[in-house]
Structure 1
């Protein structure tokens, strides 16, 4: 199996655990917890900031000593917007599931002292990107314009069956602002219906990295560098939760020149 593909380790508990150490990079961390009703998970953030995203299910949340109450309404990541909570560095959080919960824990370096912030569905902007079979639907959870986080960028995307996404191919692997920013990235994938599949290619201009990955329900893709387009097959919608971070909280990407013509007209 490719080192860029992380499959879930089971059906309950922490089933995905990507750290900077395991990924061989510096910034992004991603974990996924699957909880049954009544189960709890908690952690201290240490020197990292965290964004908790309710991929599905309902739970009660505390963070930074605050009781934040019940969060999460959707039954699946294909049913509307999520609920999320930003937790700064040198703090703590806990979630107790009231239903089955799929909880994403997105993390990156904390650089300053910030406050806990609830990011409810109403606070999240949505947009449609692309045309024709390149249309996809984006929910901005922690965009660079919000001023909430030090390092984290978090977004959800739904790509309809038969459509492409993260396309035309683009990359963000050079610390060369204003032309391009360096951002590590993870993709947590889900499919509807769950038995479907999709494809993702991760590759560089010189093809020193060139892998085509079979995407099944519940896997996570690591994008350390290079272009990283996705394709959802007919009949199966593709969801992914993106986590990005780097030395600057800027998403400035570079399109692959050979395919940039697709943006015209």
Structure 2
């Protein structure tokens, strides 16, 4: 199996655990918890900021010594927008599931910005359609660079069955503003129906990194550098949750030159 693909470890509790150390990089951390009603997950953010994304289900949340109430709404990542919570560094938080709950924990270094805890409601989230034809996908911006955070960028994408996504291939692995920014990235994949599969390729111009992976429901793909397009097969919609972070909180990317013709006309 590719070193860039992280399979879920079971179906209950903390099923995915990616740290900067395990990924071999500097910035992005990602966890996925699957809880039954009444179960609780809690943590301290320490020197990292955190975005909790209620991928599916509902839970009672507390953070920074305050109750945030019951958050969450959708029971499938393919239906509607998510609820999320932003947590600055040095924050204690907990979530107790009130239904079956799938909670993503997205982290990156805090920079002492002193931002407050805040709930990110579905009705606050911008959505856009990117691409056309068989490259159409639907994007929900959870924590874009236009919203306050120290390091984190978080976004959801739904790619209809048979379509490509993160395509034409692009990369963001150079700290070279204003042309490009260095951002590590994780892709948390879900398929609908869940027995489906898709594909993702991560590669560099010189092919010193070139890995193609079959992706199944619950897989996480690590993108330390290079281009990273993906595609889903006929009959199966693809959802992914992206977490990005780097030395500068800006998403500037470079398209693969040989495929830029796809953007014309």
Question: Residue 54 of structure 1 aligns with which residue?
Answer: 54
Residue of structure 2 equivalent to 1:218: 218
What SS is found at the alignment partner of 1:70?
strand
Aligned to 2:235, the other structure's residue is in SS state coil
Q: What SS does structure 2 have at the residue aligned with 1:95? A: strand
Aligned runs of 1:217-256 on 2, under 5 Å?
217-256=217-256
d(CA) in 1 for partners of 2:262 and 2:93? 44
Aligned to 2:42: 42
**Which residue does 1:120 correspond to in 2?**
121
- Which residue pairs with 2:144 in the alignment? 143
- CA apart distance, 1:114: 1.3
Q: For residues 214-256 of structure 1, give each alpha carbon's deviation from its aligned partner in whole angstroms, at most 9, with x where no partner exists.
A: 0000000000000000001110000000000000000000000
Deviations 1:132-171 (A, max 9, x none): 110000000000011x210000000000001000000000
Whole-angstrom CA distance in 2 between matches of 1:214 and 1:15: 19
What's the secondary structure of 2:188's corresponding residue?
Answer: strand
After superposition, where does 1:1-265 map in structure 2 within 5 Å?
1-112=1-112, 113-146=114-147, 148-265=148-265
Q: TM-score scaled to structure 2, two decimals?
A: 0.99
Report the alpha carbon displacement of residue 66 of structure 1 after superposing the two structures with TM.
1.1
Per-residue CA deviations over 1:66-120 (Å, capped at 9, x if unaligned) read 1000010100100100000000001111000000000000000000221001000
Provide the rounded CA distance (Å) in 2 between the counterparts of 1:66 and 1:29: 25
Deviation sequence 1:44-64 (CA, Å, 0-9, x none)? 000000000000000000011
> Runs of 5+ in structure 2 lacking a partner?
none
CA distance in 2 between partners of 1:231 and 1:91 (Å): 38
* Structure 1 gap ranges (5+): none
Local SS of the residue matching 1:77: coil
CA RMSD of aligned residues (A): 0.4
- Number of residue-to-residue matches in the alignment: 264
Which runs of structure 1 show a deviation greater than 6 angstroms over 4 or more consecutive aligned residues? none
State the secondary structure of the residue aligned to 1:103: strand
Three-state SS of the structure 2 residue aligned to 1:231 is strand
Relative to the length of structure 1, the TM-score reads: 0.99
